[in-house]
Amino acid sequence: SVLRWHGVDLAGPLWDTMVAAFLATPDLRRSMDYLAQALLGYRPVPISDLIGERGTDQRSMREVPLEQLTEYAAEDADVALQLWQRLG
């Protein structure tokens, strides 16, 4: 696996939010933003707010100020944790 090649060894039980969401709610769409809205009643900041819409004018994550990127990543991790708690 890619992780093992980089020296990351995974042990113990693993959890995948998207797989759990599919098993628990197969009729819902599969995106963290949608699941946050549908299951948590929360609307996360869309990535398009940081990098723009898809297309030639979309900027790279490298161009996003670190403070904005940090807030986005923290929110993403928090949503994943809350979904795990809800679906687990």
The domain limits of the chain are 14-87
CA 11 to chain centre: 22
pLDDT in tens, 54-87: 887 899 999 999 999 999 999 999 999 999 999 8
Q: Give the Cα separation of 61 and 82 in Å (integer).
A: 25
Give the pLDDT confidence of 2-43 residue by residue, as tens digits.
888 899 888 878 888 888 888 888 887 888 899 999 999 999
CA 19 → CA 8, 28, 33, 65, 76, distances in Å? 22, 12, 15, 32, 17
